[in-house]
Amino acid sequence: MDIQSQNLSTHPLTKEETERYARFLYNHLEEYGDPLDDVLACFDYAAHRGGLLITAVDDDELLGVAMTNETGMSGYIPANILVYLAVSPNARRRGVGSALMNAVKAETTGGIALHVEENNPAKSLYERSGFDVKYLEMRSA
């Protein structure tokens, strides 16, 4: 398995690449995902304001994708947010998610935050990777 990291603000993707990776996330995040337009907006943000695309590939098969965005803050709010991480169903429980998380931690500078629903199976991956609950997030529409 090959893990690759790409800073999208210095090495932008083609439209076709963006579509491929965004569709992978959209398709494999399942009920924990966002609309495709929101996933594409994450790529646009990363290209213009900073962020990483990290991929896991084996024999030309895309196994997993992680996307981070730089927040522009540090200290009081982590400098990075892990926006998306998805692994294809046939690659789950094979260490792909852990490899992506290790790459996220190695390739980012500063702290990392993420949002995960309580019942999302990925929560255990994040906990094994050293993440813990700091507070409950609340939002107003």
Chain centre distance of CA 65: 6
Per cent of the chain over pLDDT 90 is 82
**pTM for this prediction:** 0.92
Residue 60: inside a domain: yes
Q: List, for residues 29-57, the tens digit of each pLDDT value.
A: 989 999 999 999 999 999 999 999 999 99
Domain assignment present for 27: yes
> What's the sign of the alpha-carbon dihedral 28, 111, 141, 39?
negative
Give residue-wise pLDDT tens across range 86-121.
999 999 999 999 999 999 999 999 999 999 988 898
Our count of domains for the chain comes to 1
Q: Is residue 137 part of a domain?
A: no
In this model, does residue 135 exceed pLDDT 90?
no
- Under the banding of pLDDT at 50, 70 and 90, the label for residue 23 is very high
CA distance between the termini of the chain? 41
Quote the CA–CA distance of 106 and 102 in Å, as a whole number. Answer: 6
* Cα gap 26→37, rounded to integer Å: 9
Domain assignment present for 40? yes
Q: Which domain holds residue 112?
A: 2-128
The enclosing domain of 89 has a CATH number of: 3.40.630.30
Both tokens assigned to 122: 């990925």
Question: What does the pLDDT read at residue 133?
Answer: 87
**82 within a domain of the structure (yes/no):** yes
User: How many other CB atoms sit within 10 Å of the CB of residue 75?
Assistant: 8
135 within some domain = no
Amino acid at site 92 = R
How many angstroms separate the Cα of 127 from the Cα of each of 10, 78, 80, 101? 31, 17, 17, 11
Rounded Cα distance, 21 and 83, in Å: 13
139 in a domain, yes or no? no
- Domain assignment of residue 44, yes or no: yes
Sheet strands side by side (includes 80-87): 2-7, 51-58, 61-70, 80-87, 112-114
**Across all residues in the chain, what is the average pLDDT?**
94
Q: Of the candidates 55, 69, 62, which has an alpha carbon nearest to the alpha carbon of residue 100? A: 55
Helix (H, G, I), strand (E, B) or coil at 111: coil
